[in-house]
Amino acid sequence: MDEQIVNKIIDRYLSITKITGEPNEGYKYDAINHFQQNWNIDDPQFAKMFKKSFAKTGNLLYQNSWGFISKSVDRFPEETREMFRKLYCEDIDLKDKINTFQQDSEKILVLLKDDLKVEKFNAQQDERTISVYLGFRHPDKYSLYKSSFFKEFCSEFNLDPKSSSKESYITLQEQLPKFNEVINLREDFVSAYRTFYPKPDWDDTNLMIQNLLYVGYRGDVKGIYNGILNSFTNNNLAIYFSYLDEIIEEFSIKKGTQKCVFNVSDNQLNFTIGQKYVWCLKSVNNHEIFKIISDGQFGEKSEKFDSSINSYLNHIKDLDLLDQKQKEIDLAIKEVIDKTVRSSYLKYNNPFIERMVFDKDFRTLILGLDFSKNTKTNYWIFQGNPKYYDIVGALNANVLSNWQVAAHKDKIKIGDKVILWMTGENSGCYGLAEVTSDVGIIDDNQEEIKFYKSDFNPNKDRTGIKIIENFSANPLLWKDLKLNSILSSLKVGNQGTNFTATKEQFDEILRISQLNQNKMNHPLNQILFGCPGSGKTYSTKKLAVEIIEDRKFGNTKKDRAEILKLYDQGIQNNQIKFTTFHQSMSYEDFIEGIKPSMKGDEEGDLSYEIQSGIFKTICTTAIENHSSVPSNNFEESWEALIEIVKSKISNAELLKIGSWEYGLSSKNSLKYSSLDTPSQYSFTITKQNISDTYQNKKARPSGAFQKDMQDIVGFMKSQFNLSEYKEDDPSENEKFSRNKYVLIIDEINRGNISAIFGELITLIEDDKRLGNDEKIEVILPYSKESFGVPPNLYIIGTMNTADRSVESLDTALRRRFSFTEMKSDPEVIRTAHENGGIIQESPNINLIELIDIINKRIELLVDKDHQIGHSYFIGVNSLADLKITFKNKIIPLLEEYFFGDFGKIGLVLGDQFVETNSAQDNKKILSKFKGYEDVDFLTDKKIYTFKDIEQMTANDFYSIYNDYNDQ
């Protein structure tokens, strides 16, 4: 632990006590003084002395702990005296002292149980209790200990809290010297502390440390330093708590009630009763809005609570509505209070917010703070070096969650905006982020550490970040950005990790990125993942066509028809290949291998030959069909032309091209000339004129004739092999971009990636493909051919999350692919379905509501990865279609998700689909067998069966979502 950690705790203590004043910890000094004045281990009346010495412990000892030790000293004083004699012996190791004391306590516990004639009685002489005994006797050596604040301390600063409380207390003791060392240097802290607690006759440094930690991690003051209220203006906070006072008074709500929860989450200040928001203040993009429960709808927007017929959460800006709608508000609050016994959200209660609700003096102090100073957003550049950290890999794997901070530590705060920058050959902006934590030591993210190319130092200050824009697939490079007048002054490229930026620069990068989103910049390797039926297969077809056509398509029926037509064309001309991975797929199937072959002669002999797999085949096709472009040698040809003219002039000659002879001007341009007679023209032909003519552009005016310039270009082609001009003469990499190819791999997660790709997994990386400086080619094991992956081949994979989660994928695959989640989206049906998602029956069946409620129930019972995709319902246009879909698709999926538990399927679909088989007498099924005694238990078993889908009515399907809304 370094001194920065101690200084941060000290600063936190000072900021808290500056607002709250004396933190009411003086009773500890009174208790220790009282102990020191009365303790005498040799006192003949040991029990009386003992109780008097510890008379002022207050809440420092658990009631059960004191109950045991007080009875122990009453009934077994000599045994207890001996226990404390060993505990207070400084010749014994701390760990051994604790062990011995606890073991002796257990021995006395046996005696006490027998003496008191009780069974349920515990010693509870834990580390907190023992720390009080030790801290009172030797306050200069031992600190008081409380596991809750010590665990938070260890968590914040990435210290090992140890697995047991005993070891944790010992760890705390080991940290005391560092605290002591820093405290002695902090005169500001000592001076402020002494205004509360004068120096006693004993060394109170360890008690200072305990108070530092306890005050620093008290839940009811955390909001002072953790920025929990920074998103809200003081005026709106005052309004919020003032109206909450009225609710508290009207309904006699007491502090500590288990019905209510007070907290802040996602920039929303909440008062919750049971599981319902009652009164909230929400901050979004520097705008704030209030939300209030009611049994009627009003305001800007209303959200209906599913569990009540007439209960809404209304969004309001006009606070006069609170008075106008008071009756409806009170009815809704009364309803939820009456129904609630204990809120299931109690674990989310925030003691700081609760204290502000019930302690109005404290609230006045807090609202006196100028939160507006903290609401100003700062803008930063966080810079990384690709030699030390693979930012692209971390972004693609979605694990980049913090950044090392070396400068501006005291200014970087939660909510600040960040430009993520990478230096090196491809320097530029690779993403935008938002700061999510204060600067300090952060817990290791093992997934992220993998992307460090040098040793990762966990003890350096870092700040948490949340990625809000990921440009890793198409970074905004410095060579382009520096041409922008707003971004040309970006403080990048210098040594360091953190630099200041401006809002204007951040917004400009965001604007450029949004413009680029309209371009077709597809990642070379991507995986679409989602639940069955979420549209992955169709999306791969759409992506493949968009890649090849280099244009976007919409989601209209006309677009879908064109996409399917172009996809079929792509299959026919071998620009698109499709395959499915499975457990038997091998390297030999995918890359190349030795396969049996029947000879074409009459004997039909069996032979073996090396055959290319689908991946090698499409790679070869992509390489062979790229547009090869001759290199542009205009510069060399022009220089050669000028040298010939100079050579001619040195020999008193001119160069004849076409109808004219040419010499040179003083600026090395061609000049119309004549050796025999003076030329009537004084015009020159510049290098730029010839370059424009070569590029088939209209040459800039110079007085020369266009035909003459064309003659010169023709001369350069015939004499110096000037290449034919190709527009946008491409680089080696760009030669492949003319014709694009797509390989679609369905169920990519079902194959053994290592076995299928083998050594070629590295070759699919963007910078390892052919045409790049870092390209890699390998010799294939069977054909012995050199092989590389071209940059004009795109790989699109799909995977069902119901089979396997993204997190469980092969790490090598995850690092090399971008991932796009395909969520079940019932709203797609609104545009893709011929009737807008409505099956016209009596009653009408709303497919959007049907899918939505089924998926909510599945997510509650299983998880979000096991849902029903919308694509199953796009072609469902009648009740008959719906029955077939349920019979062949939906019910089999549900049986798989719930492992045949028809009872849970009934919780999803309702009792119109699943029934308990009560018509059959179970007792008549089993054969008579007197040797088995638990027959009744077996025959009482409930047996669930599906009702006949063919007999279902529109009402049955309607009931799936209609019954839910009536609950």
Q: Which domains does the chain have, with CATH numbers?
A: 3-217 (no CATH), 224-372 (no CATH), 377-517 (3.10.590.10), 520-596+606-629+736-822 (3.40.50.300), 634-720 (no CATH), 829-965 (no CATH)
- Average pLDDT over every residue of 687-703: 72
pLDDT at 83: 95
Q: Full-prediction pTM beyond 0.75?
A: no
Residue 663's beta-bridge partner residues?
Answer: 671
**Reported confidence tier of residue 563, pLDDT bands at 50, 70, 90:** very high
Residues 745 and 644: beta-carbon distance below 8 Å: no
Which of 237-251, 478-492, 508-522: highest mean pLDDT?
237-251
- Whether 555 has a pLDDT exceeding 90, the answer reads no
Q: What is the DSSP letter of 266?
A: T
**Reported confidence tier of residue 441, pLDDT bands at 50, 70, 90:** confident
What would the pLDDT profile of 270-290 be if each residue is shown by its tens digit?
A: 999 999 999 999 987 667 899
Six-digit token string for 115: 């003496």
With residue 846 as reference, give the H or E element that holds it: strand 845-846
pLDDT at 632: 65
**Reported confidence tier of residue 679, pLDDT bands at 50, 70, 90:** very low
pLDDT at 309: 64
Check residues 402 and 566 and name the one with the higher pLDDT: 566
Residues 261 and 345: beta-carbon distance below 8 Å: yes
Q: What is the DSSP letter of 723?
A: P
Check residues 372 and 720 and name the one with the higher pLDDT: 720
pLDDT at 626: 59
Helix, strand, coil % in the chain, rounded to nearest 5: 45, 15, 40
- Average pLDDT over every residue of 477-482: 86
Dist. CA 130–CA 125, nearest whole Å: 7
Give the mean pLDDT of the chain: 84
Check residues 668 and 909 and name the one with the higher pLDDT: 909
Check residues 96 and 522 and name the one with the higher pLDDT: 96
pLDDT at 729: 45
What would the pLDDT profile of 801-846 be if each residue is shown by its tens digit?
A: 876 655 556 677 778 888 888 888 887 787 778 888 898 887 889 9
pLDDT at 504: 86
Check residues 636 and 92 and name the one with the higher pLDDT: 92
Check residues 708 and 2 and name the one with the higher pLDDT: 708
- Average pLDDT over every residue of 310-334: 90
pLDDT at 52: 95
The Cα-based distances of 352 to 18, 279, 372, 645 in angstroms read 16, 17, 20, 87
Round to the nearest angstrom and report the end-to-end CA distance of the chain. Answer: 55
With pLDDT > 90 as the criterion, what percentage of the chain qualifies?
34
What would the pLDDT profile of 572-625 be if each residue is shown by its tens digit?
A: 999 999 999 988 999 999 999 988 876 655 566 677 888 899 999 999 888 876
- Average pLDDT over every residue of 517-546: 85
Please tell me whether residue 798 adopts helix, strand or coil conformation: strand
Residues 83 and 104: beta-carbon distance below 8 Å: yes
What would the pLDDT profile of 23-36 be if each residue is shown by its tens digit?
A: 888 999 999 999 99
